[in-house]
């Protein structure tokens, strides 16, 4: 490594202008590079991009569908972001999402008919949060008291949750399974009173609940004593200890809150568009995608909302592109390129890349100008 040509160094505090400019430039760069690829494969980039926009935002129904797709991503994005802010690497959003869905569908089925929506809807939302927090606790408690690696435990618990959902529907005659349908194992529909009301095509009020919850998370993390203590502990556990902050309890709290948000997403998805514990409708990597949303939003809990909308739009545009003859593989490549560039742009915000003027100067980095 003695002949390296470029120096990568942390930028320290990036300017607000840079934080806005780089993501936009990244997406434009992605569109240009992907556009070249589209030209090479015989597609018209303009037509493809117009179709993507048209599918996701070009009609009232398209906008409604984009918002439906964005709703769970807002919450799984917030779930990932609040944990990552404290250096708690909860990548178990997928499992916590599903556990939230199990709890939500479970409480709705258990309560059954006879309760009004004013009881049922808060019940399913809260149950979702509890389910997610419970599943997070399975990783959080050993992390805090035994020092286990939460990356491994949360990752593994995702697969356990996926298999558990499949077991409840495919492998057992659980209360979640619809006993009236013999031909194919499927989820039992939850009572109508537990369904979130639709107000604009298929779009239900879950989008507002998600946005309100994201704002609450933002307030909690940014404006309260507890949030301040969490951020201090996230920056340096030593500083936090010195300031008399109980780091283990903060880790536990953040972990459970993170799980609860992923669980809220599961609950809203069950009581919103899906209406049952249906594995095929629920296992869509919404928890994993939340991690990408959080990263693209730079862990900013408010920025997560528009990023989730864009991610929902990107996901929804796939079938529309197929319908104008763009092959599935190209669609996946295009979606992947946009994400890759956006994440790579992150690196440029966090670090600067420059040529060393000379070997001796390189040893004395110039003062930060940002």
Partner 1 sequence: MAFKRWRLFATLMVVIAMVAAACSSGGGDSEGSEPAETATTTAAAEPAEVLKIAFVHVGPVADKGWSWAHDQGAKYVKAQLGDAVEITTLESIPEGSDAQRVFEDLAAAGNKLIFGTSFGYMEPMLAAAENFPDVAFMHATGYKTSENMGNYFGAAEEGRYLSGMAAGAATKTNLIGYVAAFPIPEVLRGINAFTLGAREVNPDVEVQVVWTSTWFDPPKEGTAAESLLDAGADVIAMHQDSAAPGQAAEAAGAKWVGYNTDMTEFAPNAWLTAAIWDWGPFYLAQAKAVIDGTWKAESVYGNMADGMVALAPFGESVDEDLQALILEREDEIKEGIFSVFPDPIVDQDGNERELGDIFTMDYFVKGVIGSPTG
Q: Where do contacts with partner 1 occur on this chain (CB under 8 A)? A: 44, 46-47, 49-51, 53-63, 65, 68-69, 166, 170-171, 182-185, 201-202, 208, 211, 214-215, 273-275, 278, 280-282, 284, 302, 305-306, 309, 313, 316, 319-320, 322-325, 328
Minimum CB distance to partner 1, residue 170 (Å): 6
Residue in the block written with tokens 């659980």: 174
261-293 CB burial, b ≥16 within 10 A, e <16: bbbbbbbbbbbbbbbbbbbebbbeebbbbbbbb
Minimum CB distance to partner 1, residue 6 (Å): 36
Structure tokens that stand for 325 in this block: 């003859």
Minimum CB distance to partner 1, residue 223 (Å): 14
Closer residue to partner 1 in complex, CB, 148/300: 300
Closer residue to partner 1 in complex, CB, 325/365: 325
CA-based end-to-end distance of the chain: 28
Contact residues for 189 (Cβ-Cβ < 8 A; gap 6+): 178, 275, 276
Closer residue to partner 1 in complex, CB, 103/269: 269
Q: Determine contact, residues 161/99, Cβ cutoff 8 Å.
A: yes
Q: What are the Cα distances from residue 29, in Å, to 35, 49, 55, 57, 281? A: 9, 14, 22, 22, 34
Closer residue to partner 1 in complex, CB, 44/148: 44
Q: Bridge partners of 7?
A: 354
Minimum CB distance to partner 1, residue 239 (Å): 31
Closer residue to partner 1 in complex, CB, 233/309: 309
Minimum CB distance to partner 1, residue 349 (Å): 21
Closer residue to partner 1 in complex, CB, 239/328: 328
Minimum CB distance to partner 1, residue 288 (Å): 15
- Phi first, then psi, for residue 204 (nearest 5°) are -110, 175
Contact residues for 328 (Cβ-Cβ < 8 A; gap 6+): 318, 322
């Amino acid at each position: 490594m003695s002949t390296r040509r470029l120096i990568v160094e942390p930028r320290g505090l990036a300017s607000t202008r840079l934080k806005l400019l780089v993501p936009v430039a990244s997406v434009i760069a992605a569109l240009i590079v992907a556009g070249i690829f589209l030209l090479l494969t015989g597609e018209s980039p303009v037509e493809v991009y117009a179709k993507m926009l048209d599918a996701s935002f070009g009609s009232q129904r398209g906008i409604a569908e984009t918002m439906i797709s964005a709703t769970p991503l807002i919450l799984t994005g917030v779930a990932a972001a609040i944990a990552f802010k404290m250096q708690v690497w909860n990548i178990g959003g997928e499992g916590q999402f599903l556990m939230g869905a199990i709890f939500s569908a479970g409480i709705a089925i258990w309560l059954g008919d006879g309760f009004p929506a004013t009881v049922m809807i808060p019940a399913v939302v809260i149950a979702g949060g509890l389910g997610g927090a419970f599943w997070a606790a399975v990783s959080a408690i050993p992390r805090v008291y035994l020092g286990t690696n939460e990356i491994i435990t949360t990752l593994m618990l995702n697969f356990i949750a996926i298999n558990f959902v499949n077991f409840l529907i495919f492998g057992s005659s659980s209360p979640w399974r619809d006993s009236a349908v013999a031909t194919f194992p499927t989820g039992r529909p939850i009572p109508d009173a537990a369904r979130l009301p639709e107000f604009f095509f298929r779009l239900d009020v879950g989008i507002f609940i998600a946005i309100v919850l994201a704002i609450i998370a933002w307030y909690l993390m940014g404006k309260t004593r507890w949030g301040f203590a969490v951020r201090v502990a996230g920056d340096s556990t030593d500083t936090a200890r010195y300031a008399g902050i109980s780091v283990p309890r903060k880790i536990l709290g953040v972990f459970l809150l993170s799980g609860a948000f992923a669980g809220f997403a599961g609950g809203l998805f069950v009581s919103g568009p899906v209406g049952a514990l249906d594995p095929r409708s629920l296992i869509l990597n919404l928890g994993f995608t939340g991690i990408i949303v959080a990263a693209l939003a730079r862990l900013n809990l408010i920025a997560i909302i528009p990023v989730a909308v864009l991610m929902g739009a990107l996901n929804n545009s796939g079938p529309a592109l197929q319908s104008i003859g763009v092959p599935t593989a190209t669609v996946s490549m295009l979606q992947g390129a946009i994400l890759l560039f956006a994440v790579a742009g992150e690196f440029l915000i966090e670090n600067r890349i420059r040529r060393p003027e000379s070997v001796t100067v390189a040893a004395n980095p110039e003062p930060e100008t940002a």
